[in-house]
Structure 1
Amino acid sequence: MSTQTYLAYDYPLLSMFWTMLWFFLWIMWFILLFRIILDIFRDDDLGGWGKAGWLVFVIVLPFLGVFVYLVVRGRHMGSREVAHARAQQEEFDRYIRDTASSGGGSVDELARLSEMRNRGDISEEEFRRAKDLVLGNAGPAAGGGAATGT
Structure 2
Amino acid sequence: MSFWDIVWFIVISFAFIAYLMVMFAMITDLFRDPDASGIVKAVWIIALIVAPFVTAIVYLIVRGKGMGERQMRAAEAMREQQDSYIRQVASPSSPADQIAQAKALLDAQAITPEEYERLKAKALT
* TM norm structure 2: 0.72
- Which of structures 1 and 2 has the larger relative contact order (alpha carbons within 8 angstroms, sep 6+)? 2
- Matched residue, 1:78: 68
Q: Aligned to 1:105, what secondary structure does the other structure show?
A: coil
Runs of 5+ consecutive residues of structure 2 not aligned to the other structure: 113-125
Separation in structure 2 between the aligned mates of residue 25 and residue 34 of structure 1, nearest angstrom:
14
Q: Does 1:99 align with 2:89?
A: yes
Query: 1:120-142: CA deviations, max 9, x gaps?
Result: xx7x93429xxxxxxxxxxxxxx
- Matched residue, 1:12: 2
- Matched residue, 1:29: 19
* C-alpha deviation, 1:106, in angstroms: 7.5
Q: Does 1:125 align with 2:74?
A: no
Give, as a single letter, the amino acid of the residue that structure 2 aligns with 1:38.
T
Equivalent of 1:88, from 70, 78, 91? Answer: 78
Query: 1:72-116: CA deviations, max 9, x gaps?
Result: 111221111111111111111111112223xx2289838x95xxx
Give, as a single letter, the amino acid of the residue that structure 2 aligns with 1:49.
I
* C-alpha deviation, 1:65, in angstroms: 1.3
Give, as a single letter, the amino acid of the residue that structure 2 aligns with 1:105.
S
Separation in structure 2 between the aligned mates of residue 126 and residue 48 of structure 1, nearest angstrom:
64
Query: Whose radius of gyration is greater, 1 or 2?
Result: 1
- Matched residue, 2:54: 64
- Matched residue, 1:139: none
Separation in structure 2 between the aligned mates of residue 45 and residue 52 of structure 1, nearest angstrom:
14
* TM norm structure 1: 0.61
- Matched residue, 1:54: 44
- Matched residue, 1:109: 98
Give, as a single letter, the amino acid of the residue that structure 1 aligns with 2:61.
V
Q: Aligned to 1:52, what secondary structure does the other structure show?
A: helix
- Deviation >4 Å, runs of 4+: none
Separation in structure 1 between the aligned mates of residue 37 and residue 16 of structure 2, nearest angstrom:
31
- Identity, in percent, stands at 36
* C-alpha deviation, 1:45, in angstroms: 1.9
Q: How many residues align?
A: 108
